[in-house]
């Protein structure tokens, strides 16, 4: 049995990023092979004391949706205030089945669920801040309160929310690991996911397989 988190001075922490129906192959913003990570993520949970899951949680009029004004097509890039925004098919609308966790994902041990992308005007790839860095989600305070020093990150998608969450975790001072076989990428361009892993590694994030965790 893993030790309960409160017994641990620095709980081993896993952040499960956006493992939601809309990012599975049948979903609105399908991530190829997204379903393959659920088993890996379930098994990983047993190795950690503290489990955080994020949910992309958009209002129906979210500005990252191509269907909303100014009505472009998915993949187009627009300027939202100061930040560039890739437009996506409508996905993970608050309260819909697409935004829910897949039933196969074990959820009864989740300590905290972080919802992000909830403001209409700005997207949030990172679990810590929105893309314009106007607002924090509260995840940083939560991890500090739990005395977390090191985070392991997995989920969907490697080239967007996993990458931005990991880079923010690192820059906020956490020793940061990405469990690569528990991630899949959107790959709008071929090799986006491997390039994202390369960029994360170069920044100082450790890329590891679930079979070779250092504990």
Q: Is 18 in the site for Zn ion (CB under 5 A)?
A: no
Query: x-or-dash pattern for ligand VGL, window 18-57, by CB under 6 A?
Result: x-------------------------------------x-
Rounded distance, CA 180 to CA 194, Å? 10
Question: Is cis: bond before 157, omega within 30 of 0?
Answer: yes
Active site residue 116: yes
Judged by CB under 5 A, the number of residues near Zn ion is 2
- Closest to ligand VGL by CB, 24 vs 51, is 24
Task: Write the interaction track for Zn ion spanning residues 55-94; mark x where CB under 5 A is met and - where it is not.
Answer: -x--------------------------------------
Query: Catalytic residue among 49, 146, 154, 161, which?
Result: 161
Render the burial of 142-175: b for 16+ CB within 10 Å, e for the rest: ebeebebeebbbbbbbbbbbbbbbbbbbbeeebe
**What are residue 113's phi and psi, to 5 degrees?**
-115, 125
Q: Does 156 bind ligand VGL (CB under 6 A)?
A: yes
At residue 58, φ and ψ (nearest 5 deg) are -95, 145
Is 161 labeled as catalytic in the residue annotation? Answer: yes
Write out the residues near ligand VGL by the rule CB under 6 A: 18, 56, 88, 156-157, 160-161
């Amino acid at each position: 049995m893993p030790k309960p988190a409160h017994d641990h001075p620095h709980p081993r922490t896993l952040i499960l990023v956006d493992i939601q129906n809309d990012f599975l192959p049948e979903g609105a913003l399908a991530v190829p092979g997204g379903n393959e990570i659920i088993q890996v993520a379930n098994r990983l949970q047993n190795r950690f004391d503290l489990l955080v899951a994020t949910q992309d949680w958009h209002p129906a009029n979210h500005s990252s949706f191509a269907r909303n004004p100014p009505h472009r097509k998915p993949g187009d890039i627009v300027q939202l205030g100061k930040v560039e925004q890739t437009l996506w098919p409508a996905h993970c609308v608050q309260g819909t089945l697409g935004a829910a966790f897949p039933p196969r994902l074990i959820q009864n041990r989740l300590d905290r669920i972080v919802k992000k992308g909830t403001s209409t005007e700005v997207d949030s790839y990172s679990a810590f801040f929105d893309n314009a860095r106007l607002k924090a989600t509260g995840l940083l305070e939560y991890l500090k309160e739990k005395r977390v020093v090191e985070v392991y990150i997995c989920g969907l998608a490697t080239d967007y929310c996993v990458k931005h969450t990991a880079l923010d975790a690192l820059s906020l001072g956490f020793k940061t690991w990405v469990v690569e076989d528990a991630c899949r990428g959107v790959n709008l361009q071929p090799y986006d996911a491997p390039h994202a892993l390369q960029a994360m590694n170069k920044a100082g994030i450790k890329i590891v397989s679930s079979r070779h965790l250092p504990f």
